Chains A and B, each alone.
Chain A
Amino acid sequence: MSGTGLAFYLTTLLVYGAVDVIACLGLNQQFGVAGVTNFGYIIFQAAGAYTAATLSLPSQSANGGFQTYIGGLGLPFPVPWIGAMIVGGLLALPFTFLVGRRLRGDFVAIGLLVAAVMANLLVTNFRPFLNGAAGLALVPAPLHSVLDPQSLSYQWGYSAVAILLAAGTYWFCRRMTESPYGRTLRAMRDNDEVADSLGKNLRMLRAQMLVIGGMIAGLSGGVLVGFITLWAPSAWGYAETIVLFAAVIIGGAGNHAGAILGAILVPLGFEEASRFIPAFGPAGLIPALQWVAIGLLIVLFLWFRPQGIIPERRRTTPAAPEKAPSTVQFAVHPRWGPAQAATGLEADAGAGIGEAVLEARDLSRRFGGVDAVAQVSLALSRGRLTGLIGPNGAGKSTTLAMLAGTLPASGGSVWLDGRDITSVPAYCRARLGVVRTFQLASEFKRLTVMENLLSAVPQQRGESLRGALLGRRYWAADEGVSIERAWDMLDGFGLRAQADEYAGDLSGGQRRLVEIMRALMAQPEVLLLDEPMAGVHPKLATEIGQHLIELCHSGMTIGVVEHELAFMDRFCDPVVVMAQGRVLAAGTMAALRQQPEVVEAYLVG
């Protein structure tokens, strides 16, 4: 290869590499960080490429009519690239209806896969739109009127711009990911139902990911088509998405550096390796074997190293100075704490002790033909620790889920502070102050304990997309306050040493504590706990009970489902007894023990 030949080869390599890096970063943002699996990712790149092409091509009559297409606006650089990003993002909008909470993640992925295949079919067969199967050719290179696209300096310039854009994309993705917003995305990835119950708007977050990923993919398509000057349906078969998935999985999903490595190893590596393999076998054998190799790599990596070559980095928190052991054991959260006593809130709380805050009225839930909960009416009163007991299958957890909104009610209504919130979704109820915990372990596994706690803090400055993009300077102070609270909380529960461990690596009891701490970090007005003491050491359970009582005294309303009668005896008043989906009785434990039907239904059996 001559010197210039080598130089042309190198520049081509750099542009392809930059394009693959941009595409993989976008996919990693969706899939690795936010857990949105988009099997139709390639159509967003295709949309960008077609947009850039038709925006820069002259009107179709100008080229003798050998190709037909819409657009043909002949716009100057950089308008086609900006258009590519915009159209990539706009194309995501019709798909955002798929990503609500109603549809399982793998079903959404299938829907997008189907969309990708169909889009390719449509563009291939409908020639007037984008010249059908033949595709678009002779796409003008950017700035071709002032520079010579065939010159080596142009090629170097192009690769430099492409690399700059790749670097910019990396910077953009990192800014999103390494922020409270990114933490929320990762929480959603690890457990969407729990994120929902903590007030995260899943539909909005996923829609943002689809649009942002679409814009990034669109940009990659625009940069690519400006360089290769042609674009056809064969370049964006659905399998090309699998190549990008392979890259992200092999590089390390959730880690943007891993996405870059994957982009260089897989799409670029495979493309280039085939240049150096001596031709053997019949035509088409080598490409076929390449596909087999990509399939094998996906399966083997997911089996042997699912975290990829560069795993997701664990985010550690700079340690805060340890407080003297004499400080209060538990941190009382500020809304009800003494700090705000002067604001009048405390006075309100004091006056309102005992009044109903969260009410169920004739609440029912049917599963198939079974009445899990039938016309349950109960009220949680301010300043009270209300217990909910009953035999297995009594409908306790179902009632709690309907109060929190994580399960829709089949009938009846839920009222918060005199307002009907039956149709208010779970994340909005969380924002109104109703926060629940779950019976099954529900920590965000690949978030550290500290991150689990921080994820629950409401109204974080850096938790919106805008806040994240404004940068650390915008949200660091706010975050510092939350971290301070989290340290106090960790001290109170004796988990300071575990702050930087992944929550998924903790013992069962510790995970329960993380969950309770996380719920408290949300500063709820009403806290709903579903069997919080399961797996917790009895001594610690007592301490937690005392702490819950303290919180009640400061005005919080707490409901707890628990099997441990000793806990009920000691801390809960009133206690509601449920059996077979109905409320059997309510009152103090002492009073309940006098009632034969209660004893029969639960206390003995």
Chain B
Amino acid sequence: MSLLLASFGFGLVAAAVLAIATVGFTLQFAVTDVLNLAFGAVMIVGAYVAYWINQAGITVWVGLLAAAVVGAVLSFVLNAIVYAPFQRHHASPIAVVIVALGLTLIIEFGLQSYVGGTSVSYTMSQGHTLQAGGLQLTVVQLVILALALASMVAVHVLLAYTRLGKAMRATAANRSLARTCGIRSGRVVTVTWLLSGALCGLAGTVFGMNAGSFNATSADLFLILILAAAFLGGPGKAYGAMIGALVIGLATEISAAYITSSYKDVVAFVILFAMLAWRPTGLLGTRS
């Protein structure tokens, strides 16, 4: 029982990290129609920005904010100089995905050629360990949970209650129709890259905190989890991404406790493939 509770706690934290990333990824896809496989690479750039600030003797929480800013700017730039021009040239979706893979190589290994291949860690205290009914979580883990919760609430408020959020949903549903209805879809797309990029930088840093150490290519496997969570919830569905992240986060950590940690990510793969076979549009996707 305590094992279940302990792994449940780990699972919640893993789900929190995954949720921030998956919501960012899926928002990007919904509004901009880019399956941005370079998302993991941008995450790691964010994680390194926080690391460099941390190395300068400043607390990593400041680095976290800087990572969000860099994530936003880098995502914006990627769209402006690569994705948007390709889309304007009517590149097929598959060509854009291949371009995204090329960008992944450029960013990850560009970073690696600069920082080297060794792993780094943040200098930070994990804080006290708090216990509640068998659940054991450190202060840092609680802060990660709180951050994820705050991000999810913010995304919910944005999408449900603001003009911008409604414009994003309209653009996601039908970009040309949204444009003819007076929505400045170009601006909406730009803002989406900035917001989802901020989530991406944020996710990179909490990923680094949770993982303990990371290097330039650490996000490769994490990207697979993001894809699994996004497709589980339904590609492009923000609330689906939250559910998907929760399921994948819990499933991987609980199976790690009961089977072996080496295969925990394979569980995500099994869930994803079962989903693709059973219902390719995802849990919250519409049947077509």
In contact, A104 and B93 (Cβ under 8 angstroms): yes
- Say which one of B130-138, B159-167, B182-190, B219-227 lies at the interface with A: B219-227
Give the tally of cross-chain contacts (CB within 8 A): 127
- Say which one of A109-117, A317-325, A591-599 lies at the interface with B: A109-117
In contact, A110 and B105 (Cβ under 8 angstroms): no
Instruction: Report B217-257 residues with CB < 8 Å from chain A CB.
Output: 220-221, 224, 227-228, 231, 235
The answer to whether A125 has its CB under 8 Å from any CB of chain B is yes
Among candidates B109, B113, B220, residue contacting A238 with C-beta atoms closer than 8 Å: B220
Residue of A nearest to B116 (CB): A282
In contact, A125 and B262 (Cβ under 8 angstroms): yes
The answer to whether A441 has its CB under 8 Å from any CB of chain B is no
B94 partner residues in chain A, CB cutoff 8 A: 35, 37, 105-106, 109
The answer to whether B158 has its CB under 8 Å from any CB of chain A is no
Among candidates A35, A39, A121, A285, residue contacting B266 with C-beta atoms closer than 8 Å: A121
Residue of A nearest to B108 (CB): A291
B95 partner residues in chain A, CB cutoff 8 A: 302, 306
Docked CA distance A556–B13 (Å): 66
Among candidates A117, A249, A295, residue contacting B109 with C-beta atoms closer than 8 Å: A295
Among candidates B110, B116, B235, B280, residue contacting A102 with C-beta atoms closer than 8 Å: B280
In contact, A117 and B112 (Cβ under 8 angstroms): no
Residue of A nearest to B93 (CB): A106
Docked CA distance A285–B273 (Å): 37
In contact, B266 and A118 (Cβ under 8 angstroms): yes
The answer to whether B97 has its CB under 8 Å from any CB of chain A is yes
In contact, A295 and B105 (Cβ under 8 angstroms): yes
With contacts A98-B276, A103-B280 taken as known, whether A295 is within 8 angstroms of B286 at the C-beta atoms is no
In contact, A292 and B220 (Cβ under 8 angstroms): no
In contact, B35 and A106 (Cβ under 8 angstroms): yes
Interface membership of chain B positions 94-118, coded 1 if the CB is closer than 8 angstroms to chain A and 0 otherwise: 1101110111111011101100110
Docked CA distance A39–B227 (Å): 14
Secondary structure class of chain A's binding surface, majority of residues = helix
The answer to whether A242 has its CB under 8 Å from any CB of chain B is yes
In contact, B286 and A117 (Cβ under 8 angstroms): no
B20 partner residues in chain A, CB cutoff 8 A: none
In contact, B227 and A285 (Cβ under 8 angstroms): no
Docked CA distance A284–B269 (Å): 31
Nearest Cβ distance between residue B58 and chain A, in whole angstroms?
27
In contact, B35 and A295 (Cβ under 8 angstroms): no
The answer to whether B212 has its CB under 8 Å from any CB of chain A is no
Docked CA distance A121–B35 (Å): 23
In contact, A302 and B105 (Cβ under 8 angstroms): no
Residue of A nearest to B109 (CB): A291
Residue of A nearest to B216 (CB): A288
In contact, B266 and A288 (Cβ under 8 angstroms): no
How many chain A residues have a CB neighbour from B under 8 Å? 49
Among candidates A107, A238, A290, A368, residue contacting B235 with C-beta atoms closer than 8 Å: A107
The answer to whether B67 has its CB under 8 Å from any CB of chain A is no
In contact, A284 and B103 (Cβ under 8 angstroms): no
B263 partner residues in chain A, CB cutoff 8 A: 121-122, 125-126
B269 partner residues in chain A, CB cutoff 8 A: 114-115, 118
Residue of B nearest to A282 (CB): B116
The answer to whether B277 has its CB under 8 Å from any CB of chain A is yes
Residue of B nearest to A103 (CB): B280
Residue of A nearest to B275 (CB): A111
In contact, A284 and B280 (Cβ under 8 angstroms): no
In contact, B220 and A299 (Cβ under 8 angstroms): no
In contact, A292 and B276 (Cβ under 8 angstroms): no
Residue of A nearest to B225 (CB): A114
A35 partner residues in chain B, CB cutoff 8 A: 94
In contact, A368 and B286 (Cβ under 8 angstroms): yes
Among candidates B105, B113, B116, residue contacting A294 with C-beta atoms closer than 8 Å: B105
In contact, B85 and A295 (Cβ under 8 angstroms): no
A125 partner residues in chain B, CB cutoff 8 A: 262-263
Interface membership of chain A positions 293-320, coded 1 if the CB is closer than 8 angstroms to chain B and 0 otherwise: 0111111001100100000000000000
B105 partner residues in chain A, CB cutoff 8 A: 239, 242, 291-292, 294-295, 298
Docked CA distance A113–B263 (Å): 17
In contact, A303 and B113 (Cβ under 8 angstroms): no
Nearest Cβ distance between residue A537 and chain B, in whole angstroms?
27
Assign chain B's interface to a size class: 35 or more
Docked CA distance A283–B109 (Å): 13
Docked CA distance A294–B106 (Å): 8
A115 partner residues in chain B, CB cutoff 8 A: 269, 273
Among candidates B116, B224, B262, residue contacting A284 with C-beta atoms closer than 8 Å: B116
A291 partner residues in chain B, CB cutoff 8 A: 105, 108-109
Docked CA distance A36–B286 (Å): 25
Nearest Cβ distance between residue B106 and chain A, in whole angstroms?
4
The answer to whether B82 has its CB under 8 Å from any CB of chain A is yes
Docked CA distance A74–B19 (Å): 49
Among candidates A111, A246, A295, residue contacting B276 with C-beta atoms closer than 8 Å: A111
The answer to whether A342 has its CB under 8 Å from any CB of chain B is no
A306 partner residues in chain B, CB cutoff 8 A: 91, 95
B112 partner residues in chain A, CB cutoff 8 A: 284, 288
B106 partner residues in chain A, CB cutoff 8 A: 292, 295-296, 299
In contact, B113 and A107 (Cβ under 8 angstroms): no
A103 partner residues in chain B, CB cutoff 8 A: 276, 280
Among candidates B82, B113, B286, residue contacting A285 with C-beta atoms closer than 8 Å: B113
A113 partner residues in chain B, CB cutoff 8 A: 37, 224, 227
In contact, A114 and B224 (Cβ under 8 angstroms): yes
Nearest Cβ distance between residue B187 and chain A, in whole angstroms?
25
B280 partner residues in chain A, CB cutoff 8 A: 102-103, 107
Instruction: Report B77-100 residues with CB < 8 Å from chain A CB.
Output: 82, 85-86, 89, 91, 93-95, 97-99
Among candidates A102, A107, A122, A289, residue contacting B231 with C-beta atoms closer than 8 Å: A107
In contact, A289 and B113 (Cβ under 8 angstroms): yes
Residue of A nearest to B91 (CB): A302
A102 partner residues in chain B, CB cutoff 8 A: 280
Residue of B nearest to A118 (CB): B269
Interface membership of chain A positions 494-509, coded 1 if the CB is closer than 8 angstroms to chain B and 0 otherwise: 0000000000000000
The answer to whether A245 has its CB under 8 Å from any CB of chain B is yes
In contact, A303 and B86 (Cβ under 8 angstroms): yes
The answer to whether A129 has its CB under 8 Å from any CB of chain B is no
Nearest Cβ distance between residue B235 and chain A, in whole angstroms?
7
The answer to whether A97 has its CB under 8 Å from any CB of chain B is yes
Docked CA distance A126–B262 (Å): 8
10 A-B contacts (beta carbon < 8 Å): A37-B97, A102-B280, A110-B227, A111-B272, A126-B263, A245-B98, A294-B102, A295-B105, A296-B102, A298-B105
Closest 6 CB pairs of A and B: A295-B105, A298-B102, A125-B262, A291-B109, A295-B106, A118-B269
- Other than the given A37-B98, A102-B280, A118-B269, 13 more pairs (CB < 8 A) read A37-B94, A106-B97, A107-B276, A107-B280, A117-B220, A121-B265, A126-B262, A289-B109, A290-B109, A292-B113, A295-B104, A299-B106, A302-B95
Q: A residues within 8 Å of B by Cβ? A: 35, 37, 39, 97-98, 102-107, 109-111, 113-115, 117-118, 121-122, 125-126, 238-239, 242, 245-246, 249, 281-285, 288-292, 294-299, 302-303, 306, 368
